[in-house]
Amino acid sequence: MFFWIFVLFILGSAVGSFLNVVVDRTTQGQSILGRSYCDYCRATLGVVDLIPILSFTALSGRCRHCRKKLSWQYPIVEGLSAFLFVLAFWVLFLAGQLSIITLLYYFFLISILIVVAVVDFKYSLVPTTLVFLASLVSLFYNYFFLTSGQFVQSVLAAFGAAIFFLVIVLLTRGRGMGEGDVVLGFLIGMVLGLKESVLAIFLAFLIGAVISLFLITLGKKHFGQTIPFAPFLVTGLLISLFWSKEIINWYLMLY
């Protein structure tokens, strides 16, 4: 078991390194192919510069060539990707649902969601093309691996979540939420189904409210100022994906 956890951690960190490239290059209209380079001095990076997490630590977070400080985005995304890959394996194993197809599906979703969250956090932009791709993959996965009743429920939940966010966009004239959140809501419903989607959206608003109040208290934000919402939706989706049954059962026990 420890061997597979170690392997998946390494795999996840390597995927996270690639996701950093996707985040940085796609938002600038660049190809994700080709050698990696320093954003400051444009020096081509070698193997010693590209070992996930370790290179950033060993080089004290600086470019080996020009010594400029590198963004903390790189080790954070690599570490988060590695952690979520291991977590997906562990949760599926404990639930008795571990299979190659399901594990790869979870890895794909995690990768897309990390990119979506980071891009929205940095640029206040939801990469809808990736969200549409994830929704399409989820649709096919649900069709082949869920019962007909579960499949129909996931489709209804997807449209229901999308309409919910669309209503918010229309009522606030785009000030309270963006169109990208509508597409992301569709993905949430498609991946999770009805009850789990409600939980994910509730958690997103709850976490968003707590973080917003914290930032206001610190003076980093003020009332009426918007913050990217996709990271909170992604967080709610992932929490529900891994622990929806436990959270819902705990809530029902309270009442």
What is the tens place of the pLDDT at every residue in 137-153?
Answer: 999 999 999 999 999 99
DSSP code per residue over 193-213: -HHHHHHHHHHHHHHHHHHHH
Mean of the per-residue pLDDT values for the chain?
89
Contacts of 72 (CB under 8 A, 6+ apart): 61
3-state secondary structure of 37: strand
Q: What is the pTM of this model?
A: 0.92
56 vs 119 pLDDT, higher one? 119
Per-domain boundaries in the chain: 1-98, 126-255
Q: pLDDT tens, 198-254? A: 999 999 999 998 988 888 787 776 666 678 899 999 999 999 999 999 998 887 787
Q: pLDDT tens, 93-129? A: 999 999 999 999 999 999 999 999 999 999 888 999 9
DSSP state of 34: S
Q: Provide the residue count of the chain.
A: 255
